[in-house]
Amino acid sequence: MPWLICAVIGLVAGVGGGLFGIGGGIIIVPLMVLAFGMTQQMAQGTSLVALLAPVGLLGVMNYYKSGMVDFPKGGVLALGFVGGAYLGSKIAVGLDPELMRKSFAVFLVLVGVYMYFKK
């Protein structure tokens, strides 16, 4: 079941990446904390596995040295991210730019409120 959850999170992050150009910090990290009870650092380190080449390589190395990376989950996230990015970009190119901007703003506010009030 954890692998399915990771694949879905990766897919959601991919769609978000394709739609809004976001993914790791805004989608994957909060969902990994919520779904698996990870610390912020473990979620960030694991998220970077999905974004590894080449963006997160140095970041992953630092998190790995601190024992804060789950490579198997990060790999499954990456697989979902690839398919989701394709799907999200296909949707995004057909949407009205004003709708995209407003949707992105609402999404950011919701994530911000969640992160602020999370215990």
pLDDT tens track, the chain, 119 positions = 899 999 999 889 888 877 776 776 788 988 998 999 998 788 888 887 887 665 667 778 888 999 999 999 988 988 898 888 888 888 888 888 888 788 878 988 998 898 899 88
Contact (CB, 8 A) for 113 and 43? no
Amino acid at 73: K
Q: How high is the pLDDT of residue 107?
A: 83
How far apart CA 66 and CA 60 sit, in angstroms, is 10
Angle at 59 between CA 118 and CA 116, to 5 degrees: 15
pLDDT at 3: 92
**pLDDT reported for residue 55:** 62
The parent domain of residue 11 ranges over: 2-117
Number of domains in the chain: 1
Single-letter amino acid, residue 8 = V
Closest CA to 95 of 18, 13, 14: 18
Number of C-beta neighbours around residue 56 at 10 A: 19
Q: Which amino acid is at 119?
A: K
pLDDT of residue 54: 58
Neighbours of 76 (CB within 10 A): 22
